[in-house]
Structure 1
Amino acid sequence: MTGALRGLEQVFPERGPAPVHLWNPPYCGEIDMRIARDGTWFYNRTPIGRPALVKLFSSILRKDPERYVLVTPVERVGIVVEDAPFLGVELLREGEGEAQVLKLRTNVEDWVEISSKHPLRFEPGDSDGLKPYVLVRAELWALVKRALFYDLAAWGSERDGFFGVWSAGTFFPMAPMRDLPDFS
């Protein structure tokens, strides 16, 4: 697959995600490609150092029921994703409170507006903490970096017994208020 894709990042530098949902090529097995927890992409145990190549691979990434795959019109190969395929690396905030709109940039330069279409969810993390994720596209999530999590918490509020954050008219609960420490 990599031989067929070599140089495409120069031919299609601003191309978005491919229509992988329309392609159903044969499964050709696993390749030695891995997306580490920190967002680093590896091929044959070596980090892929070219951001344009990582962005290109991310544009043909899909989540099938049994695995993550890279898909072209002629082949589909499995890869390993240790946590989430993307990292949320920047947050922009417009407005405040219930009227605020949050926008997330991923490590592959995708921008998404956190909304009912691109929801924010919180999962238990290490040491009793929470890990926030944002849906980027079609079952592909971005793990929001820890520094941005602190921004989300600072922009949060209480609603119906839950602490959470608003974006684009939707409330995303982080935790029940009863589980939060009382700092009063």
Structure 2
Amino acid sequence: MNNHENSSYPAKKPAQADNKNLMAIAQYLKDGQFGHKKSIPPLEQWHPKHCGAMDLKVKANGEWWHEGQLIKRQALINLFSTVLWKEDGKFYLKTPVEQIEIEVEDEPLFIQQVDQVEIDGQTYLQLTSTTDDVIIVDDAHQIFMREYADEMRPYVHMRFGMNALIQRAAFLHLVSMGELYENDQGGTQLTLKSGNLLLQLGT
């Protein structure tokens, strides 16, 4: 990544204001302990005013960039992931007092680990994100395929209308837990089972 790739960022706010906003949100989340592992605040109950846009971008490869700089502190990314909100096709950081638009190339969440867990005698697929979300694949959190940048990519339904991209290594592990076969059209079909849920994915 080089700096000219970030020249497309809209100059919607002075950099100083952006940085102040980002740090203010981080401090608010820490004070409220909303950033605790696996703890998602009740965003659907908050109705703040829209406060414009911030020069914050989540790239399709999982990187977070702020004002042209790569955010390297995973703890900070984990914190902001708890207040990600999607509305009318746009992505925001949302608190009780403000809702700030950010840019997301594809999806803002990413699955890095796949496991099988036993619950009430049944085997379920459990997915863990890079930001410490733990999801059990079920009717509300189904895996599906979607095209992005001319390739089919696997996703899982998450929360607030958002999905998480299942990263390549995790998906290969997922494939090993299912059954692959050729369909009538000559393509490859992956069958996965999580509890009573049966998923058939064209890969």
TM-score calculated relative to the size of structure 1: 0.82
Give the aligned residue type for 2:193.
Answer: W
Report what 1:87 is aligned to. Answer: 110
State how 1:78-117 maps to structure 2 within 5 Å. Answer: 78-94=101-117, 100-117=123-140
Equivalent AA in structure 2 for residue 146 of structure 1 = R
* Cα-to-partner distance string for 1:27-55 (whole Å, 9 max, x where unaligned): 11111001111111111111112111111
Contact conserved, 2:85 with 2:91, CA < 8 A, in 1?
yes
Q: Deviations over 1:72-125 (max 9, x none)?
A: 111111111111111100001236xxx531100001011001111211111235
SS at match of 1:27: strand
Q: After the TM superposition, which segments of 4 or more aligned residues of structure 1 sit over 6 Å from their partners?
A: none
Indicate the percent of aligned positions where both proteins have the same amino acid.
Answer: 26
**Count of residues in Structure 1 that have an aligned counterpart in Structure 2:** 171
Residue in 1 aligned with 2:16? none
- The 1-side partners of 2:201 and 2:43 are apart by 32
Pair 130,102 (structure 1): closer, same or farther in 2 beyond 3 Å? same
Partner of 1:34: 57
Checking the alignment, whether the CA contact within 8 Å between 2:111 and 2:129 is kept in structure 1 is yes
CA-based RMSD: 2.3
**Partner of 2:91 in structure 1?**
68
Partner of 2:192: 165
Contact 2:52–2:100 (CA under 8 A) maintained in structure 1 = yes
Please say if residues 9 and 53 of structure 1, whose CA atoms lie closer than 8 Å, have aligned partners that are also in contact.
no
Match of 2:68 in 1: 45
- Alpha-carbon distance in 2 for matches of 1:73, 1:29: 15
Aligned counterparts of 1:137 and 1:5: Cα–Cα separation in 2: 20
- On the 8 A contact 2:46/2:95 being kept in 1, the answer is yes
Change in 2 beyond 3 A, CA 1:155/1:4: same
Unaligned runs of 5+ in 1: none
2:22 matches 1:2: yes
Distance 1:10 1:21, change over 3 A: closer
Aligned to 2:107, the other structure's residue is in SS state coil
- Secondary structure of the structure 2 residue equivalent to 1:55: helix
**Distance verdict in 2 for CA 1:3–1:124, change over 3 Å:** closer
Q: What amino acid is aligned across from residue 115 of structure 2 in structure 1? A: L
Alpha-carbon separation, structure 1, partners of 2:72 and 2:64: 8
Q: How does 1:109-148 map to 2 (within 5 A)?
A: 109-124=132-147, 130-148=152-170
Point out the more displaced range, 39-48 or 10-19.
10-19
Normalised by the length of structure 2, the TM-score is 0.75
